[in-house]
């Protein structure tokens, strides 16, 4: 019996057509979500309703099983869709608060298009109405100066990485320029080894990138001792160097997108020490913003204490008293006061919340100095969890 002939091109066209239809439906869903946000705003409603989300997800898991789709697959898909919906509604509330409209936002960013900072910036604005105009900068100081002198509306800078730690220069620049933090973005970083078409790992002798990227790929260099690492001001400037010289012995560490943009070849994917590698970025501006209390927020402060024993502990006890979670504590030396430290603290909560407001007033009395560096919407949208018994029951009845 002859097998039926399969027209692969026809199947691929049908899949592409369905993919376009899915994107169209997703865009329609987002618009409906924004109408819901407008209703909530007008009626002082909460953005998230966890009990409703649980009912929705349970129903979708059951529906997915009718189509032969495993519960975890359905949950992964709809957690992403709900996250987009929630972030879109957060942005809608923030836009009403700031009356931003749809004007173009000018942002100072490190490196060229497809650098990690650029990717984080695009992600940050993916649910916003504003159009983006980017100003490319070669150093973090350049970014702060552009924001400080009013040449741009915002700057985006990395503040910490889950494997290589804090970028201390940013804390010092925040103190020097007195800018405000108005947002955050977290990006999963996947470092790639990039070279020319003629390059191979064996042919490489010198690899260039930003110091943070080099630090996050230490294991690779230990495993390939014939390759020397060299610092550049950004991963995109390293890519530029490789593209310009077209030397098979020269490579760079950068994103896959940057390699494609420059016409270079990825020699090895995901060479970072740890695959769960995230960088947190801050959005900085000259003026602080007000975050509606219905949006989960962070408040970042900088404080200086006296030198007496327990001075910092006294301040931290105030946070405990008001049940405020401290998600970050970083210390930096004060250049004008040898052996004195300034402490930077990220607090979970809105500075307009009653407990945070009271805590800040007490901290101001306990500390020598206290500066609020900004209150801004949290990046993380925590996925609503279903009871494992519900998922197991659904799978059992499949």
Mean pLDDT of 18-33: 95
156, β-bridge pairs: 109, 283
> Residue 12 — very low, low, confident or very high, per pLDDT cuts 50/70/90?
very high
pLDDT at residue 1 above 60? Answer: no
Mean pLDDT of 233-243: 91
Mean pLDDT of 224-253: 94
Model pLDDT, residue 234: 87
Mean pLDDT of 323-329: 96
Strand pairing class (341-348; 326-333): antiparallel
pLDDT at residue 98 above 70? Answer: no
Q: Which residue is it, tokens 């995109």? A: 236
- 3-state helix vs strand vs coil in the chain, percent to 5: 40, 25, 35
Cα 288 to Cα 115: distance, rounded to the nearest angstrom? 27
Cα 52 to Cα 197: distance, rounded to the nearest angstrom? 53
User: How many C-beta atoms lie closer than 10 Å to residue 77's C-beta?
Assistant: 13
> Residue 218 — very low, low, confident or very high, per pLDDT cuts 50/70/90?
very high
Q: Is 210 within 8 Å of 272 (Cβ atoms)? A: no
Cα 155 to Cα 266: distance, rounded to the nearest angstrom? 30
Model pLDDT, residue 249: 97
pLDDT at residue 100 above 60? Answer: no
Cα 356 to Cα 324: distance, rounded to the nearest angstrom? 7
Mean pLDDT of 210-219: 93
> Residue 94 — very low, low, confident or very high, per pLDDT cuts 50/70/90?
confident
Strand pairing class (165-166; 206-209): unpaired
152 φ, ψ to 5°?
-130, 165
> Helix (H, G, I), strand (E, B), or coil: what is residue 293?
coil
Cα 350 to Cα 357: distance, rounded to the nearest angstrom? 8
pLDDT at residue 115 above 80? Answer: yes
pLDDT at residue 188 above 70? Answer: yes
Cα 259 to Cα 199: distance, rounded to the nearest angstrom? 13
Burial of 266 (0-12, 13-18, 19+ CB in 10 A): middle
Model pLDDT, residue 112: 81
> Helix (H, G, I), strand (E, B), or coil: what is residue 211?
helix
Mean pLDDT of 355-376: 96
User: How many C-beta atoms lie closer than 10 Å to residue 85's C-beta?
Assistant: 23
Model pLDDT, residue 104: 87
Burial of 186 (0-12, 13-18, 19+ CB in 10 A): middle
pLDDT at residue 306 above 90? Answer: no
Mean pLDDT of 345-351: 96
60 φ, ψ to 5°?
-70, -35
CA 93 to chain centre: 20
For residue 120, give the H/E element and its range.
helix 116-124
Model pLDDT, residue 221: 96
Cα 375 to Cα 214: distance, rounded to the nearest angstrom? 32
Model pLDDT, residue 309: 87
CA 231 to chain centre: 24
pLDDT at residue 131 above 90? Answer: no
pLDDT at residue 322 above 80? Answer: yes
Report helix angle 168-177 to 140-148, nearest 10: 20
305 φ, ψ to 5°?
-110, 170
């Amino acid at each position: 019996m002859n097998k039926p002939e399969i027209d692969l091109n026809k199947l691929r066209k049908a899949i592409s057509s369905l993919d376009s239809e899915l994107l169209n439906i997703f865009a329609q869903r987002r618009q409906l979500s924004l109408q819901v946000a407008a209703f909530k705003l007008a009626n002082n409603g909460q953005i998230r309703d966890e009990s409703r989300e649980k009912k929705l997800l349970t129903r979708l898991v059951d529906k997915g099983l009718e189509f032969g789709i495993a519960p975890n697959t359905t949950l992964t898909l709809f957690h992403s869709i709900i996250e987009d919906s929630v972030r879109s509604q957060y942005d809608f509330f923030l836009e009403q608060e700031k009356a931003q409209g749809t004007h173009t936002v000018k942002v100072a960013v490190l490196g060229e298009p497809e650098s990690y900072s650029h990717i984080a910036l695009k992600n940050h604005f993916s649910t916003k109405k504003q159009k983006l105009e980017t100003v490319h900068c070669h150093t973090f100081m350049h970014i702060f100066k552009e924001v400080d002198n009013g040449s741009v509306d915002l700057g985006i800078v990395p503040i910490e990485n889950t494997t290589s730690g804090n970028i201390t220069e940013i804390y010092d620049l925040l103190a020097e320029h007195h800018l405000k933090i108005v947002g955050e973005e977290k990006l999963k970083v996947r470092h790639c080894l990039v070279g020319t078409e003629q390059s191979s790992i064996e042919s490489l002798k010198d690899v260039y990138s930003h110091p943070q990227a080099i630090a996050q790929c230490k294991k690779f260099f230990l495993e390939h001792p014939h390759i020397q690492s060299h610092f550049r001001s950004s991963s995109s400037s390293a890519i530029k160097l490789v593209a310009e010289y077209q030397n098979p012995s020269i490579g760079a560490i950068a994103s896959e997108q940057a390699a494609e943009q420059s016409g270079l070849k990825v020699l090895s994917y995901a060479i970072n020490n740890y695959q769960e590698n995230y960088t947190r970025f801050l959005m900085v501006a000259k003026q602080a913003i007000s975050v509606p209390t219905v949006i989960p927020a962070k408040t970042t402060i900088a404080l200086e204490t006296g030198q007496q024993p327990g001075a910092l502990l006294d301040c931290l006890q105030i946070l405990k008293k008001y049940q405020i979670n401290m998600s970050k504590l970083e210390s930096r030396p004060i250049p004008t006061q040898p052996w004195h430290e300034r402490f930077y603290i990220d607090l979970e909560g809105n500075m307009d919340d009653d407990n945070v407001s009271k805590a800040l007033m007490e901290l101001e009395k306990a500390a020598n100095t206290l500066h609020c560096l900004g209150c801004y919407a949290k990046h993380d949208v925590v996925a609503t969890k279903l009871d494992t018994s519900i998922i197991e029951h659904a799978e059992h009845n499949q």
